[in-house]
Chain A
Amino acid sequence: MVVVTLQRKKCIGCNYCVELAPAFFQMARNDGKSVLLHSVEKKGFHTFKSADDASYTPCKEAQKACPVKIISTKLV
């Protein structure tokens, strides 16, 4: 399983994650920050769990590119 988290509050809206993993991230219209699609929020951490291991690569790319290091991608 792939677990992706996003600390949304710290996002500076650079759009890298959307460019690299458009199936998982989208920019929000209202506040210009990234949204991790289908995620659940708990204490500022937005978490998305995917049974499909193919989710790993694009999300990992987004993690590597994120300038404020608020994305984490793990294979569990």
Chain B
Amino acid sequence: MAPAGNFESLQAALDNGADSVYFGVEQLNMRARSNINFGLNDLQEVAERCRAKNVRTYLTLNTIIYDHDLSLVKTLLNAAKAAEITAVIAMDQAVIAYARQIGMEVHISTQINITNIETVKFYALFADTMVLSRELSLRQIQKITDRIEKENVRGPSGNLVEIEIFGHGALCMAVSGKCYLSLHAHNSSANRGACKQNCRKKYTVIDQDTGFEIALDNEYMMSPKDLCTLDFLDQVIAAGAKVLKIEGRGRAPEYVAKVIKTYREAIDAHYKGTYDQVKVAHWMEELKKVYNRGFWSGYYLGQKLGEWSNVDGSKATQKKVYLGKGQHYFPKAKIGEFKIEAYDLNIGDTVLITGPTTGAKEFVLTQMLVNDEKKEKATKNDSCTIPLDFRIRPSDKLYKIVKNP
């Protein structure tokens, strides 16, 4: 299950083998800021693109809901129902109740913090899929999935309740994301999707009386590393989780492309019986190329609490550098034309093309023409043409991937 903060990421998820995508529309979701959300008018297109690939669509509507939000809740759910969005991911009972009323499938958000089978049974009255608390161990998850089967716990659709868990991406120090730190420090509520991520910063501890500062071995005392389950995916699947959620609606499209592609390969390999440590090592290197704070296994393996990050931002081993814009695509010749606006492009470079319809496409450059001549290098203001088996557009951006020092 892939995150889609915009059309670029949505397309990247579709192109790299996601089974389902989740996204926010307007402000009532855990990434409320408008630049990582869709508008009501986008809903139809999101649904159509996903339907064409037989990918399920989930609308996140999982913040705290106040009275003044109720009308928007109804507007969003009615629009989602009309666009045939598969389900809504909900926390507030008002959202759950209205979705059921109009016959829309409900998934229970991790914000509800389900940690036991009785709670699963309770929410089975309303929901077919439930995201468990991020803080459970695989053993605890297995117990829940076993009992769903044994006790025949079915949702409104008549099918057995499916369990979804977080598979990859940012974790935070708060239980199931229910955190007040950002609200208290910046009036910016995480539970309304406006988390300011104070926990990701460096802190010191000072005795106010004497000014004595306690020595810390890690000043990022509240910033956990990112969750990664790839290296024990066989155990995750064995625990009975049916849906693996990839976090990251605020991440770049190439992040979505890379992470989805990697997990797709790993899951497929597991079912083919070819999942092994050599492959895992390769996949882990792939995952390290994109945004990460270092990886840990979360709470799933149940040993120790909290592994803390030691960086402010990402530890990604690669970064992208902006080169230029798409100009034109010649469909018969299958050639894309780009205008270089910064830096330089060389044969042998790994390039990335992103755009709202193109998604995120990465490949090694083997040939190009620069201002209609065969050359090894293109620089600023050059026009260069590259053979491409996919269409590019003027809204597309061209990057090259370089090592992150």
Residue of A nearest to B39 (CB): A9
Structural contact, B66 and A15, CB atoms closer than 8 A:
yes
1/0 contact string of B310-326 vs chain A (CB within 8 Å):
00000000000000000
Q: From residue 186 to 206 of chain B, which have CB atoms closer than 8 A to chain A? A: 186-189, 192-194, 196
Q: How far is the CB of A20 from chain B (nearest CB, A)?
A: 10
Chain A residue numbers with a CB within 8 Å of B178 are none
**A14-33 CB contacts (< 8 Å) to partner B:** 14-16, 27-33
Say yes or no for A65: interface residue by CB 8 A criterion: yes
Among the listed A13, A15, A65, A68, which residue makes an inter-chain contact with B28, where contact means beta carbons less than 8 Å apart? A13
Given A9-B34, A12-B32: A67 and B188 interface contact (C-beta under 8 Å): yes
Using CB atoms, name the residue of chain B closest to A28.
B68
The answer to whether A2 has its CB under 8 Å from any CB of chain B is no
Contacts of B34 in A (CB 8 A): 9-10, 12
Contacts of B69 in A (CB 8 A): 13, 32
| Residues in B neighbouring A9, C-beta threshold 8 A | 34
CB distance from A74 to the nearest CB of B (A): 20
CA A40 to CA B6, docked complex, whole Å: 31
Contact B75 A67 (CB under 8 A): no
User: B64 — nearest CB in chain A belongs to which residue?
Assistant: A14
A14–B26 contact, CB under 8 A?
Answer: no
**Alpha-carbon separation in the docked complex, A67 to B63 (Å):** 15
A11 near B68: Cβ-Cβ < 8 Å: no
* Interface contact B32-A27, CB-CB below 8 Å: no
Interface residues on B, range: 20 to 34
Say if the beta carbon of A66 comes within 8 Å of chain B. Answer: yes
- With A10-B34, A67-B186: A30-B193 Cβ-Cβ less than 8 Å: no
Count: A-B pairs, CB below 8 Å: 58
Q: Are A12 and B194 CB-contacts (below 8 A) given A33-B27, A67-B187?
A: yes
- Given A30-B75, A31-B75, A32-B28, A14 and B189 contact (CB-CB distance below 8 Å): yes
Does residue B402 face the partner (Cβ distance < 8 Å to A)?
no
Q: Which of B68, B186, B187 has the most CB of A within 10 A?
A: B68
* Contact A30–B71 (Cβ < 8 Å): yes
> Is chain B's interface secondary structure helix, strand, loop, or mixed overall?
loop
A31 x B187 contact (CB < 8 A) = no
Question: In the complex, how many angstroms separate the beta carbon of A9 from the nearest chain B beta carbon?
Answer: 7
- Residues on the A chain within 8 Å of B175, using CB: none
Verify A13–B27 contact, CB threshold 8 A. Answer: yes
B187 pairs with A13, CB closer than 8 A: no
User: Is B72 an interface residue, CB under 8 A from the partner?
Assistant: yes
Cβ distance A54 to chain B, nearest Cβ, rounded Å: 23
Q: With the chains together, A19 CA to B178 CA distance in Å?
A: 23
Task: Give the chain B neighbours of A67 by CB distance below 8 A.
Answer: 186-189, 192, 194, 196
Q: Mark B41-71, 1 if CB is under 8 A from A, else 0.
A: 0000000000000000000000000101101
B192 lies within 8 A of A14 (CB):
yes
Minimum CB distance partner of A66 in chain B? B187
B residues 150-176 in Cβ contact with A at 8 Å: none
Structural contact, A29 and B68, CB atoms closer than 8 A = yes
**A66-B187, A67-B187 as given contacts; A12 in contact with B72, CB under 8 Å:** no
**Which A residues have a C-beta under 8 Å from some C-beta of B?**
9-16, 27-33, 64-68
23 contacts between A and B (CB under 8 A): A10-B33, A10-B34, A11-B27, A12-B27, A12-B33, A14-B187, A14-B192, A15-B66, A29-B68, A29-B71, A30-B71, A31-B26, A31-B71, A31-B75, A32-B27, A32-B68, A32-B69, A64-B187, A65-B187, A66-B187, A67-B187, A67-B189, A68-B188
The 8 closest A-B pairs by CB, nearest first: A67-B188, A27-B68, A32-B72, A12-B32, A12-B27, A32-B69, A67-B194, A65-B187
